[in-house]
Amino acid sequence: MEKMQRNRIIVMSIMSYYARQIFDETKGYEFRKSPLKDQDLAKRIYEITDFICEDYPKHREWYFHKQLPRIFTPNGEILFARADDDTTILAMACLKKDEEEKKICTLYVSDQCRGQHLGTRMVEASIDFLETTKPLITLADYKLPMFQPIIDKYGWELTEVVEGLYNDKAKELCFNGTLTKQANMNEQGVYLVKKIKDNNSNT
């Protein structure tokens, strides 16, 4: 698929969809809470991450029953990116902000936009909402090479490694925080946890 031109891609909040808030080189990004008028939009944003269910079996349930309701409070947000002249969803981020944690729950950029710094733009917009440059974020260990440039850019620290958290195929790497309280710290200061069961939500 043809690569999208960077200057034609806009990043906005699902709650400011009709306000067309643009995150550009000047960080002209604004959050405006208003009713979600386009129910189909929420579904289309989810659809680009449906494959995540392979790693996170309860991803769909979490998105529609936890994350979507959360955006109608000060504690949640969903960001998405699309071409200026198209309705195709190119990237998305699900965010959680409360007294316990500030977390990027989901972050995805479509293949056609890789290498165009859209991931960085999504992270910077997420940082604006979460009000921290060190949000909690977790990922399957085999995805580390894909995220390494962003991890290095912001100096995120690996703080916990969990086996069996969401599935038995991969270890979950936690940056800037921990997901569990059942851990042993290794010599590098990283908490190691084995076989945590029945915790298949993205929180």
Question: Do residues 164 and 194 lie in contact, with contact meaning Cβ atoms separated by under 8 Å?
Answer: yes
Bridge partner residues of 96 (DSSP): 76, 103
pTM here is 0.79
Ranking 14-23, 130-139, 148-157 by mean pLDDT, the lowest is 14-23
Report the b/e string of 154-171 with b at 16+ CB within 10 A: bebeebbbbebbbeeebb
Q: Domain 6-193 classified CATH 3.10.580.10?
A: no
**For residue 79, what pLDDT is reported?**
93
Q: How confident is the model at residue 199 (pLDDT cuts 50, 70, 90)?
A: very low
Higher per-residue pLDDT: 165 or 59? 59
